[in-house]
Structure 1
Amino acid sequence: MMKVDIGINEQDRIEIAQGLKLLLADSYTLYLQTHNFHWNVTGPQFRELHLMFEEHYTELATAVDEIAERIRTLGEIAPGTYKVFSELSSISEVEGVPAAKEMIEILVRSHEQVVKTSREVLKLAQEAEDESTASLVSDRMREHEKTAWMLRSTL
């Protein structure tokens, strides 16, 4: 492949891509968690939560693609296996099927973790004057902060 020459030095590109890989792993793990809860939620709020979780995982499906494509734009390989995602993600898998309220609490914590991971990547992007990554990550932060707020509001 040709050398990437987009005005960001190689070391910065690699560091930013590494941060994006962590964000991708967290986002994909959250996608799986949300999809699992969509399929398995029960209780008096079933319909509301089932539909809300579907909205969330649909949005996350687009997000993981955008993050992976940014990694590729920076000249690095995007991770794409469960094994690698589980090694990179700071979000733990959930055992069994929790009650609806616990699902919401878990999702709030997971969205908040994605925000924290995003903040770290944002710093790297800003230091390297990588506005494309900074914009992508800033948008992701805003989406996850809003989603966490909405989920907290249902409790």
Structure 2
Amino acid sequence: MHMDTGISTEDRAKIVESLSTVLADAYMLYLKTHNFHWNVTGPLFSSLHVMFEEQYTEQWNALDEIAERIRALGHFAPATYKRYAELSSIKEEPEVLSSKDMLRQLVDGNETLIRTLRAGVKVADELEDYPTADMLTTRMEVHEKNAWMLRSFLEQGAGAQQGDASSD
């Protein structure tokens, strides 16, 4: 059925291409965060276990919103691990890591997703798809906060300089 929402077929395809990468990065970050929730150990276990659960739960709900936006634009959402692995720049972690390495990977994953979201906002804005731009901007804010919270666990004590990370 023909779709006439003020965004051309070609432009919707460009937006969906960007959203598909967002969805893949978001899914891979969700998977990694859930993995780390299950496998975290150490003195910060309780705090990290709870924080990881809060983050992966929020991420899970956001995946649906992103996929439904792709559908609203008239396309099918990618929905296989194989396709996510092809599209995503966030890679799975096959090993069980220390809690510090988990935190570092989740900071990196959130920052990677923020960059992907930022690129998606640019595409959506240029093509006047304001609902997509709004959704992606909201997601950016969530992941910036997540990265900050994760980064906070890696900072040294009160005397540390901004940007310093504790060493192993």
TM-score, normalization by structure 2: 0.90
Q: CA deviation at 1:95?
A: 2.0
Cα offsets for 1:49-95 (capped at 9, x unmatched): 00000000000001110000000000111011101111110101112
Query: Are 1:110 and 2:109 counterparts?
Result: yes
Secondary structure of the 2:96 match is coil
Distance (whole Å) between structure 2 residues aligned to residue 125 and residue 51 of structure 1: 34
The equivalent residue for 1:87 is 86
The equivalent residue for 1:122 is 121
Distance (whole Å) between structure 2 residues aligned to residue 122 and residue 107 of structure 1: 22
Moved over 6 A (4+): none
Q: CA deviation at 1:114?
A: 0.3
Distance (whole Å) between structure 2 residues aligned to residue 4 and residue 39 of structure 1: 44
Aligned residues: 154
The equivalent residue for 1:37 is 36
Secondary structure of the 1:96 match is coil
Larger relative contact order (CA 8 Å, sep ≥ 6): 1
Normalized per residue, which structure has more helix? Answer: 1
Q: CA deviation at 1:9?
A: 1.1
Q: CA deviation at 1:3?
A: 1.8
Cα offsets for 1:15-52 (capped at 9, x unmatched): 00010000000000000000000000000000000000
Cα offsets for 1:105-144 (capped at 9, x unmatched): 0000000000000011111100011110000000011110
TM-score, normalization by structure 1: 0.98
The equivalent residue for 2:62 is 63
Residue 95 of structure 1 aligns with an amino acid whose one-letter code is P
Larger Rg: 2
**Taking every aligned residue pair, what percent have the same amino acid on both sides?**
55
Query: Are 1:72 and 2:71 counterparts?
Result: yes
Gaps of 5+ in 2: 155-168
The equivalent residue for 1:133 is 132
The equivalent residue for 1:23 is 22
Aligned CA RMSD, in angstroms, stands at 0.6
Gaps of 5+ in 1: none
The equivalent residue for 2:50 is 51
Distance (whole Å) between structure 2 residues aligned to residue 145 and residue 121 of structure 1: 16
- Output aligned runs, 1:90-101, within 5 Å: 90-101=89-100
